[in-house]
Structure 1
Amino acid sequence: MPRYPFNAILSRFRGGSLGSTSSPEFTPRAVLLGLLIGCLLCFTNLYFGLQTGWISMMSLQSAIIGFLISKLLAIQITPQENVVVQTTAVATGTMPLAAGFVGIIPALGLLDEQKDGSHPVSLSWISAVGWSCAIAYFGVFMSPPIRKRVIVEEELAFPSGTATAQVISVLHGMPSTGSGLRSRHGYSPLDQQDEETSPSPDIAGDSQDPGSQTSEFTQNHAWFSLLWSFLVSSMLTLMAYFFPVIFALPLFGDYLARNWLWTFTPSLSYIGQGIIMGFPTTLSMNLGMLVGWGFLSPLSKYHNWAPGPVGDMTTGARGWILWISLAIMSSDSLVALIPTAWEYARKLVAHAGHGLDHDSEVETGDRLVPTKWVLWGIACSTAAGILLVWLVFGNEGIKPWATLLSFGLGALLSILGVRALGETDINPVSGLGKISQLLFAVIQPGNVVANIIAGGVAEAGAQQAGDLMQDLKTGHLVQASPRAQFYGQLIGSTLSIPVTVTAFVLYNRAYTIPGPTFPVPMAYVWLSLARLLRDGSLPEKSAIFMLSSAVVFSLISAFKTHATKRGSWYAKWIPSGVAFAIGFLNTPSFSLARLVGGVVEHIYHTSRGGSRGKVGGDIRLIVVASGFVLGEGVMSIGCLLLRTCGVGVASCWGCDFGMCGGCPT
């Protein structure tokens, strides 16, 4: 690393770049903007993750919002600074999943001594911080060593990262980022725009006329679209706090709502998520909902396989179909990883056979993360992680040698996760965690706590390595410094630890977790698999349905993977096993709301009056969806404060009919 004189460091702190002399990149304003957006995303992702088990990376949305805020503050950020903004925001916003607060931590709190041989594990604030620090950095150091292989040499698509680069290019008036730019469904390539409306200033983005179409949209529509969508979603969320029945409408009649949980939640945030996910994903989710809640749930109830209340996660139909969901999710993830692992092994052998190739790196050394940093980072984060996990859980939780093994396994699995993400835009972190659970059932049999922790380490490594690699793809196309992004990731992850832990503690104090407002479905997935691997006990008649579902979705996953690799147009319409399984885990209300968003996205992009091919129109849809998501996420903080201060609901009408909508009283 070059040594900078004090004055040079000070000038860079005031707005210059670190590791670049051509244009600002790693600057305080970029980092602070990313941290601000990331903290909002952190609360938002924790809120939605505890509800449904699904969080959003939001890299593309963070880039747009960062750009809009910079315009509001009259700050001229460069495209490279915008990359740092979204990298920092993503690192801060995804910690609830990486550190396991939407699944692993609640699962440990659900332990039963009679069933699991361990008391419930409830972490204090400082213990939760220690656990988060143990797994917050390992995945970050795993990304730089494989960046050149998957991004520079193999040029894997990383569709969301590429789409983010495309949008940043449009916003800042950059020329096309090259023929290698591939867009996610719903976003048109830059080279398809008319030359008259396509901007072509220098790469630093300093032009005063960045293209009439984008400029007009940014100045006249963006903030208005973000503001009204944010406010409407916020107000609806506040109304639902005081009148909970608003989020539990008996769309299909009182009987189905009361007895079978068929309600509709007109949440704009879930509609916004559906827009972001796209119609194919939301369709898969709702197909799963129909099979799980429309067929298997009544079947298990009527045959007395699940005699408890339908919504009970232990004895009810919801707990019974959870096992089928687990089988689908595991089989889909494992089968999808097989070709990735095979291809990676084949290329490693071929590369070793040809000896050392010429250096294909396109960046200079001062812009890359030094190998020394990577080696020291992996060694120190592993050693610190082992120590912290031992201090938090003790020998009865997981032994140090087992923790070391889980980090090694996490390193291997994170490479597979990165490659799967680069090829399919899906990081199968849940499947990778389950692989680790399966192996630890052999390594430490009967230890449910160790099983869950080992899965959490693998999931954290794959999640963070994938997040940073997706961002590095964006930076590669926009010509941003990998070192600057690495700094942003480290800073975002560090700040997110106390923010995530504090938010979880506040939610846990104000609400019952799991409970009506936060059912935490992913916690039951983690715990159910750990219990199955411990004693092999399954609910009545669930085994045959699990086996048949696993076989069916193994075949579907193989077909979908093959079609995707061939670039077949119908690949996106083949059901996603993970999305299908999420339809089982969540009550119909959430899936239906997401389907509305998916239909809106589909109609918007297929109707003759839609804006396909017009980047300004695409960005407008993203902005509106982001406003919907952030509106409820931010207002959830306000509702949390109301709840903490003892402010209750205004009316419990509907609760007598079993439609409380997660009423906090």
Structure 2
Amino acid sequence: MSTMENEARTMDPIEIEDRHALEEVEDSKRLQPWTKLMTVRGLIASVLIGSTFSIIAMKLNLTTGITPNLNVSAALLAFIFIRTWSKIIEKIGLVSKPFTKQENTMIQTCVVACYSIAVGGGFGSYLLGMNKKTFELSGGNSIVGNTASSVKEPGVGWMTGFLFLVCFIGLFVLIPLRKILIIDYKLTFPSGMATAVLINGFHGRGDKMAKKQVKGFIKSFSLSFLWGFFQWFYTAKEECGFSQFPTFGLQAWKQTFYFDFSMTYVGTGMICPHVVNLSLLLGAVLSYGMMWPLIGKLKGDWFPENMPESSMKSLNGYKVFISIALLLGDGLYNFVKILRATIINICEKYKTKDLNSGGGVNHDKKALSDMRKDELFMRETIPLWVGALGYTTLAIVSTIAIPFIFPPLKWYFVLVAYVLAPSLALCNAYGAGLTDINMSYNYGKVGLFTIAALSGKEHGVIAALAACGLFKSIINVSCILMQDLKTGHLTLTSPRAMLLSQAIGTALGCIVTPLSFFLFYKAFDIGNPNGEFKAPYAIIYRNLAIIGVQGFSALPQHCLQLCYGFFAFAIAVNLGKDMFPKRIGKWMPLPTAMAVPFLIGGYFAIDMCVGSLVVFLWGKVNSKKAELMVPAVASGLICGEGIWSLPASVLALAKITPPICMKFLPA
């Protein structure tokens, strides 16, 4: 190892680049056939890590609705798992198969496909928005269109069936266009590229880095798990325990400003960019620090005094609809921006007709490496008929089956969705390839509003929510597949193997995710606006459907004017971000991030800002070590407390309550 490092120091950058290029060329010659890339140990690792991440993502969905990108964590845990497995096998005296970056890529792909079902499957949004509790929180029968017939309680059977119908079809949408998106247009897919760089680094820099990351992960995982276990003893009732510690005083605690000692959100804050965490804090200060106390004093003027707190005609209505205005403003701006960038980029490609410009003598070997990657990507071709037959068959099955699950969503609505989905999926994947922004949730809202307007007031809400899930799932899965294919392209992994891995992960997610959802749904009070599991997006999506059915009459007094203001604010902030110099624009807040604490409070924003502070200080002390260790430590913090939620749920189901209630009261 030291000889290689000394040799690298004496080489100039061009020689190093050439050497890496030649190594990749040699790797491409030694590759195994795609049928041998999926191993038993890889499958076991995928199931274990994918199931763990599904539980973690589900908890995040049902508490705050914010889930970080866990691709890097998935690649890291896959590396740790297989390296540990290999060491154990070798100690037993058996021969272990070499662990390649291709196997690492396949495990990461399978894990991401699995946990993305928990993120985008609607368990914290449109599916949960159908249940009776969300129906009552959104106003019950007193709201036009929000009828008792627009309720569908969660069930493992119908949820699993629905996910299989709407998620698997997404695997076949863009298969015929993979060459155009990844090779011809050379789209970067930044998240996929970053994951590939990480995996190539794992398998190129030896064991020293890996050992440090493994130790960091184990330490932070153990700390987080034991801390979750310790906290549990003090939570006998609601508003008890360290999670309700009045860090800044009882008055601030009443306005949700306190540090709740959640290692999950500290770890999430370490992964998320600083601007996301600061935007969350700004949203919390603006809403719970200023607006809600002021609007609360107008009780009896702007809204009736005797109105229940959960009613959409009370203060809760302002929280929900202003959050929606911020989300819609941000989403609309980014949708138009990405669509414009997509059209301009495509036009430029056709004008120049030179997709491989920019070569030179010094880049010959790099060009050779790129050619080898492209050659492998095209050699392991996926026949066009596979995509066409798979999409057509599943579309026919879904058109017949989905109306049995959701009778208000008529078969012709489903058919129209499957006709429109491929073009929308292409637009979304192209935009994500340019900007790394997956806009599937916005395309889902397009489907929601369209079907809500067409379905009528009696059954429009359920039909709209189901249509939202149909559009979003197809477009989301197809985009994630393209992102993972980019990772596979850069790590010399066969596209056929990637598609197989994605299919296995999707199937696993469709089975594991409903089970992990019901683990929380049966054990905790999901959807309670005053509890831990607020599931904020469930009520947002239901109210979006109600607005689509009946229009703006659903809004409380003066709320429409405030919504106009925040909608305009979201667009103005995005304009400022794009028009100001980068050194100023990078500090402009993100309206989507600001919207979440408007509804659920500021406590988790403080946790995530603590994570940002840790990363900032660590970077100041030792930037190289921080860059290496932050993903490992953050993953350990998230996974430790996430795993503890599993035994905590089992204890709650068994009616075993903690022995102590630690609560703080005024003197």
State the distance in 1 between where 2:469 and 2:115 align: 18
State the distance in 1 between where 2:591 and 2:662 align: 38
1:127 aligned residue (146, 152, 158):
158
Contact 1:20–1:367, Cα closer than 8 Å, also in 2: no
State the distance in 1 between where 2:628 and 2:214 align: 12
Contact 1:113–1:120, Cα closer than 8 Å, also in 2: no
State the distance in 1 between where 2:535 and 2:503 align: 28
Contact 2:185–2:349, Cα closer than 8 Å, also in 1: no
**Residue equivalent to 1:106:** 128
State the distance in 1 between where 2:645 and 2:664 align: 21
1:257-272 superposed matches below 5 A: 257-258=253-254, 260-272=255-267
1:501 aligned residue (506, 511, 514):
514
State the distance in 2 between where 1:302 and 1:77 align: 63
User: Could you report, residue by residue, the CA deviation over 1:617-661 in whole angstroms, capped at 9, with x for unpaired residues?
Assistant: 42311100000101111110110000011111222332878xxxx
Q: Give the gaps of 5 or more residues in structure 1.
A: 1-16, 174-198, 200-209, 658-665
Identify, as 1 or 2, the structure richer in helix.
2
Shift, 1:575, TM fit: 1.5
2:115 aligned residue (61, 81, 93):
93
Shift, 1:413, TM fit: 3.1
Query: Letter of the aligned partner of 1:167 in structure 2?
Result: L
Question: Using a 3 Å threshold, how does the CA distance of structure 1 residues 19 and 562 change in structure 2: closer, same or farther?
Answer: farther
1:527-566 superposed matches below 5 A: 527-536=542-551, 537-561=554-578
Question: Using a 3 Å threshold, how does the CA distance of structure 1 residues 311 and 634 change in structure 2: closer, same or farther?
Answer: farther
State the distance in 1 between where 2:535 and 2:664 align: 21
State the distance in 1 between where 2:426 and 2:586 align: 24
Shift, 1:52, TM fit: 0.8
**Residue equivalent to 2:229:** 238
1:269-348 superposed matches below 5 A: 269-304=264-299, 305=302, 312=310, 314=312, 317-346=315-344
Shift, 1:18, TM fit: 13
Shift, 1:20, TM fit: 4.1
Question: Using a 3 Å threshold, how does the CA distance of structure 1 residues 443 and 580 change in structure 2: closer, same or farther?
Answer: same
1:641 aligned residue (650, 654, 657):
650
State the distance in 2 between where 1:284 and 1:310 align: 30
Contact 2:127–2:465, Cα closer than 8 Å, also in 1: no
Contact 2:220–2:636, Cα closer than 8 Å, also in 1: yes
**Residue equivalent to 1:661:** none
Query: Letter of the aligned partner of 1:222 in structure 2?
Result: Q
**Residue equivalent to 2:220:** 229
Shift, 1:590, TM fit: 0.9
Question: Using a 3 Å threshold, how does the CA distance of structure 1 residues 21 and 437 change in structure 2: closer, same or farther?
Answer: closer
Question: Does 1:480 find its partner at 2:496?
Answer: no
Contact 1:142–1:374, Cα closer than 8 Å, also in 2: yes
Deviates more, 1:587-596 or 1:20-29: 20-29
**Residue equivalent to 2:198:** 167
Question: Using a 3 Å threshold, how does the CA distance of structure 1 residues 483 and 320 change in structure 2: closer, same or farther?
Answer: same
State the distance in 2 between where 1:313 and 1:655 align: 29
Query: Letter of the aligned partner of 1:296 in structure 2?
Result: M
**Residue equivalent to 1:419:** 430
1:624 aligned residue (617, 621, 633):
633
User: Could you report, residue by residue, the CA deviation over 1:269-323 in whole angstroms, capped at 9, with x for unpaired residues?
Assistant: 1000001112111111111111121122112211124658997474553442221
Question: Does 1:454 find its partner at 2:449?
Answer: no
Question: Does 1:434 find its partner at 2:445?
Answer: yes
Structure 2 counterpart SS, 1:73: helix
**Residue equivalent to 1:73:** 85
Query: Letter of the aligned partner of 1:336 in structure 2?
Result: N
Shift, 1:23, TM fit: 11
Structure 1 counterpart SS, 2:114: helix
State the distance in 2 between where 1:444 and 1:25 align: 48
Q: Give the gaps of 5 or more residues in structure 2.
A: 1-28, 87-95, 236-240, 357-370
State the distance in 1 between where 2:585 and 2:396 align: 43
Query: Letter of the aligned partner of 1:247 in structure 2?
Result: S
Contact 1:292–1:583, Cα closer than 8 Å, also in 2: yes
**Residue equivalent to 2:208:** 216
Structure 1 counterpart SS, 2:493: coil
Contact 1:288–1:580, Cα closer than 8 Å, also in 2: yes
Shift, 1:32, TM fit: 2.7
Question: Does 1:404 find its partner at 2:415?
Answer: yes
**Residue equivalent to 2:368:** none
Question: Using a 3 Å threshold, how does the CA distance of structure 1 residues 408 and 651 change in structure 2: closer, same or farther?
Answer: farther
Deviates more, 1:289-298 or 1:463-472: 463-472
CA RMSD of aligned residues (A): 2.8
State the distance in 1 between where 2:384 and 2:350 align: 20
State the distance in 2 between where 1:383 and 1:351 align: 36
2:661 aligned residue (648, 652, 658):
652
Deviates more, 1:448-457 or 1:366-375: 366-375
1:512-591 superposed matches below 5 A: 512-515=525-528, 516-536=531-551, 537-561=554-578, 568-591=582-605
**Residue equivalent to 2:18:** none
1:141 aligned residue (153, 162, 172):
172
Shift, 1:353, TM fit: 8.4
Query: Letter of the aligned partner of 2:210 in structure 1?
Result: T
Structure 2 counterpart SS, 1:574: coil
Shift, 1:490, TM fit: 0.6
Question: Using a 3 Å threshold, how does the CA distance of structure 1 residues 375 and 656 change in structure 2: closer, same or farther?
Answer: farther
Shift, 1:350, TM fit: 6.8
Query: Letter of the aligned partner of 2:644 in structure 1?
Result: M
Structure 2 counterpart SS, 1:263: coil
Contact 1:59–1:164, Cα closer than 8 Å, also in 2: yes
Query: Letter of the aligned partner of 1:59 in structure 2?
Result: N
Deviates more, 1:623-632 or 1:57-66: 57-66
Contact 2:399–2:414, Cα closer than 8 Å, also in 1: yes
Shift, 1:366, TM fit: 4.6
Query: Letter of the aligned partner of 1:70 in structure 2?
Result: I
**Residue equivalent to 2:55:** 43
Question: Using a 3 Å threshold, how does the CA distance of structure 1 residues 299 and 418 change in structure 2: closer, same or farther?
Answer: farther
Structure with the bigger RCO (C-alpha within 8 Å, sep 6+) is: 2
Question: Does 1:388 find its partner at 2:419?
Answer: no
State the distance in 2 between where 1:528 and 1:386 align: 26
Structure 1 counterpart SS, 2:513: helix
1:510 aligned residue (503, 518, 523):
523
Question: Using a 3 Å threshold, how does the CA distance of structure 1 residues 308 and 382 change in structure 2: closer, same or farther?
Answer: farther
Shift, 1:417, TM fit: 2.7
1:148-187 superposed matches below 5 A: 148-173=179-204
Contact 1:144–1:369, Cα closer than 8 Å, also in 2: yes
Question: Does 1:255 find its partner at 2:251?
Answer: yes
Question: Using a 3 Å threshold, how does the CA distance of structure 1 residues 354 and 33 change in structure 2: closer, same or farther?
Answer: same
Shift, 1:589, TM fit: 0.9
State the distance in 1 between where 2:329 and 2:170 align: 24
Contact 1:88–1:491, Cα closer than 8 Å, also in 2: yes
Question: Using a 3 Å threshold, how does the CA distance of structure 1 residues 114 and 373 change in structure 2: closer, same or farther?
Answer: farther
TM-score by length of 1: 0.83
Question: Using a 3 Å threshold, how does the CA distance of structure 1 residues 622 and 349 change in structure 2: closer, same or farther?
Answer: closer
